[in-house]
Structure 1
């Protein structure tokens, strides 16, 4: 699905990232002869990195949009919160997947115990940084609120 707005080359990296996600989703779609393999920790780590990058982008967009267009800025801020909730769910799923060496027994967030060793930026460290950023601008009740219906209507 594409937008009706002419984008040109204004956002080439964002468009390329979206195209990459669509390609990946098509590649994961089950075919008639075999089913797709389940997600593994590496897959969820990369997906979490993508979600937190989008989270940061939405934060910047909400901050720059809010002064001239308060209503649009509030919607972007809500999307920012919901994206953090999605990243939190991916982070939780990461810890529920077994490693190559051992079954899941302890689901706590411990970067030093990752089977790959503690890399410079683990999924846990990335998630803690995103959580710190979202908590500066969001109340705990907003973070725990389930996604609700869209409050505006499209005019076209």
Structure 2
């Protein structure tokens, strides 16, 4: 990892702080218990924001540096695939004891144990999906299906 020189101002303080937060969380993670839905929801929110950032970086980089822009666009697509898998895992985890025996594989924000939040993981995922589908081809995304239907 390249660290900034001590005398040069930090050009990306928020991104560095977010990276440090993720590193701290990974070290502090309880390795004996599986993640809960709240954990995956937060991780999904983080990945969708990174997805938006990569999209913007690819758009800005592509005109002056086409090859670098293509690599960033590829990273954008791969990050979308990771985000999709987090979303799928969210629906496979039980929400609480009463929900453990019910079908949680489809998007039903109204059935979340904490109630439907203002922006559910499904709504966030659908919004990000619209963005990626405008900029990529189906072949780039591999065969993809989602349980979200609106």
- TM-score, scaled to structure 2: 0.87
Q: Determine if the alignment matches structure 1 residue 80 to structure 2 residue 76.
A: yes
SS in structure 2 opposite 1:82?
helix
What does residue range 56-71 of structure 1 map to in structure 2 within 5 Å?
A: 56-71=52-67
Q: Which runs of 4+ in 1 moved over 2 A?
A: 4-8
Give 1:14 deviation, angstroms.
0.2
The CA distance in 2 between the partners of 1:29 and 1:60, in whole Å, is 34
Q: Unpaired runs of 5+ in structure 2? A: 144-150
Q: Determine if the alignment matches structure 1 residue 11 to structure 2 residue 12.
A: yes
Q: Unpaired runs of 5+ in structure 1? A: 31-35, 146-156
Tell me what 1:135 maps to: 133
- TM-score, scaled to structure 1: 0.84
Tell me what 1:148 maps to: none
SS in structure 2 opposite 1:50?
helix
Quickly say closer, same or farther: Cα 1:14–1:78, change in 2 above 3 A.
Answer: same
SS in structure 2 opposite 1:38?
coil
The CA distance in 2 between the partners of 1:24 and 1:5, in whole Å, is 23
Quickly say closer, same or farther: Cα 1:144–1:128, change in 2 above 3 A.
Answer: same
The CA distance in 2 between the partners of 1:110 and 1:136, in whole Å, is 25
> RMSD of the alignment, in Å?
1.6
Q: Determine if the alignment matches structure 1 residue 108 to structure 2 residue 106.
A: yes
The CA distance in 1 between the partners of 2:113 and 2:79, in whole Å, is 27
Give 1:102 deviation, angstroms.
1.3
